């Protein structure tokens, strides 16, 4: 009530603000009404509803489509459990299930690869990576490249902070080079030129080449985010760790790096969301992720002219994915301990 009273008092004292506020509210209401009318009455959503399996798993064999759907269902379930799990009370140690959540997330990537690829040792029929597509491929590219880019970025950040000139200048050269090259050029290099440098008997499939290209590009930006976190840690932290008898490596591992990563979580979340959105560039190189599926559908004579429905659907799906990533990162940021305990304490 106090906020509304303050708002009414402010609008009475400033009539021009009242007029502008009313005009903006009317404009927003008109836009929402027009959008709602188009969504409900005008738009033809058959281009989406008839092709939901394609958006989910691409050209994956129909009789085996339960495998990517199972993986997507497990990711959705783990996301809901992570977001809805109660937080421990202050001073209370988290339970075993909460401690196992990060390991369950790490397990999702190899589990997804095993379920999608199949083959020997899994009891499932082998499916070529050429058949992977849609949301499954988007999440797989984002998760695998992000998981690979994080340790590479941490090593580059530590290299840039090193006292060794060769390591420091080499890391700086790599970061500056990757930030100066467009991502599409790195992806073309990964898809077309990497096989030329490999032995004839060694062949990397297109998905793995895309993961390597994304990871090498993203690691340069991750390194700068982590380096910013390292620079924000006061030198007194290292001095306190040395006074406790910790070596330089123990101080970095137990004191400095955990705090730096916690500080860098918002910036790293931004990089992860950008990585998710950048996977749409793979449609230009023949990998049919979400945008590639949409482009192929719009080329179908049955759906010609349905560009707006398709891109509104893609925008809504991307918004849901990015919002889920942001909520998970916020949950992680709140659950991380700001200062880890030293050994024996």
Concatenating the DSSP letter of every residue in 176-229 gives HHHHHS-HHHHHHIIIIIGGGGS-TT----HHHHHHHHHHHHHHHHHHHHHHHH
Per residue in 99-115, is it b (16+ CB within 10 Å) or e — as a string? eebeeebeebeeebbeb
**Taking the complete model, does pTM exceed 0.75, yes or no?**
yes
The pLDDT of residue 14 is 65
Walk me through the domains of the chain, giving residue ranges and CATH numbers.
128-335 (1.10.3720.10)
Low-confidence ranges of the chain (pLDDT < 70): 1-4, 6-18, 89-92, 200-203, 337-345
The pLDDT of residue 72 is 94
The pLDDT of residue 12 is 65
Determine how many CB atoms are found less than 10 A away from the CB of residue 303. 20
The pLDDT of residue 301 is 85
The pLDDT of residue 341 is 45
The pLDDT of residue 339 is 42
Judge whether 194 and 204 are in contact, CB under 8 Å: yes
């Amino acid at each position: 009530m106090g906020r509304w009273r303050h708002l009414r008092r402010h609008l009475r004292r400033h009539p021009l603000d009242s007029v502008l506020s009313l005009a903006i509210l009317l404009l927003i209401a008109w836009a929402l009404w027009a959008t709602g009318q188009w969504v409900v009455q005008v738009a033809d959503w058959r281009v989406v509803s008839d092709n939901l399996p394609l958006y989910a798993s691409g050209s994956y064999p129909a009789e085996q489509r339960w495998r990517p759907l199972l993986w997507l269902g497990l990711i959705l379930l783990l996301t809901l459990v992570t977001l809805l799990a109660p937080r421990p009370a202050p001073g209370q140690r988290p339970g075993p299930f909460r401690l196992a959540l990060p390991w369950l997330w790490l397990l999702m990537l190899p589990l997804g690869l095993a379920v999608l690829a199949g083959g020997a040792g899994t009891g499932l029929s082998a499916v070529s990576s050429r058949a992977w597509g849609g949301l499954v491929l988007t999440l797989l590219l984002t998760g695998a490249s992000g998981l690979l880019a994080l340790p590479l970025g941490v090593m580059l950040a530590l290299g840039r902070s090193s006292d060794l000139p060769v390591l420091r200048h080499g890391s700086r050269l790599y970061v500056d080079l990757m930030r100066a090259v467009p991502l599409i050029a790195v992806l073309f290099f990964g898809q077309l030129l990497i096989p030329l440098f490999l032995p004839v008997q060694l062949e990397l499939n297109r998905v793995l080449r895309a993961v390597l290209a994304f990871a090498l590009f993203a690691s340069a930006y991750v390194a700068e985010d982590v380096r910013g976190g390292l620079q924000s840690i006061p030198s007194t932290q290292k001095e306190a760790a040395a006074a406790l008898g910790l070596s330089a490596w123990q101080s970095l591992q137990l004191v400095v790096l955990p705090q730096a990563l916690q500080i860098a979580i918002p910036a790293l979340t931004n990089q992860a969301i950008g990585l998710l959105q950048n996977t749409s560039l793979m449609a230009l190189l023949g990998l049919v992720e979400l945008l590639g599926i949409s482009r192929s559908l719009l080329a179908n004579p049955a759906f010609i002219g349905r560009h707006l429905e398709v891109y509104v659907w893609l925008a809504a799906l991307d918004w849901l994915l990015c919002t889920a990533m942001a909520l998970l990162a916020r949950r992680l940021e709140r659950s991380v301990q700001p200062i880890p305990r030293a050994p024996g304490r």
